[in-house]
Amino acid sequence: MKTILATLFFIFSLIKIQATEQQTDLLYINGEKYHILNKFLHQDILGQYIEDNKLNSEINTGLWRGYIGEFIVENNIFKMKDAIIPIDYQKDTNLRLSKNHLTILENLNKKSINTVLFLSKIDNSIHRLDQNFSTIKVLEIKDNEVVKNFDLNSDLEYNQFKCDQFQKYKQTKAYKRNYYYSLKTIQNSREKYDYEDEILPIQEEVENFIADLLFEEEDFTHIL
């Protein structure tokens, strides 16, 4: 079962990096709008709710999950504000959960959120910051409270932060588990596909793979 999950994780991760970029969820701080670059919070719960309640969202390749989440920080507390569900793109018709589905939002805001979010004022991709960098705001949230809030003002600062976090992550048990399943997945991929081009040593490929996706991991819940 774990091998299957690892394989699915590997495939899904490649899709996130290589396929159509997904529209981000949004976070409002002091009236300013930010795009959340690394996480889709409550995605499984909201997706199931939309399906169960037959809300009939119109899916496109840039919004597979079927909604755009809106979050807010008020008095240093992080919570979900709304979710926008596209009904008809041509008519620009949307459904907002805050109108007739407040209960789901209230229930989600009762959940304890522990995570690290990377935010940008422009709609960007965390995998293409080297091509189109803008200041990244980093929030660490513990039990729904913002406990750290700082900016990375250049791609050099971002890459240094990413490198430092990865080196610390390598000392954790989570990394050892992640490395084992990522290694197996990449080995299986190499056996299945005949690589004609020169490829990296497998250890380096595995480490690069884990590092590239570290900030999107559900287990990345606090700054190391």
List of E strands, the chain: 25-29, 32-36, 68-74, 77-88, 93-96, 115-120, 136-142, 145-152
pLDDT given for residue 168 in this prediction: 95
**How confident is the model over 192-218, as pLDDT tens digits?**
776 656 577 888 888 988 999 999 988
Contact call for residues 26 and 35 (beta carbons, < 8 A) = yes
- Give the pair of three-digit tokens for residue 100: 């007739």
Low-confidence residues in the chain, pLDDT < 70: 1-20, 57, 194-198
pLDDT given for residue 18 in this prediction: 44
pTM for the model stands at 0.85
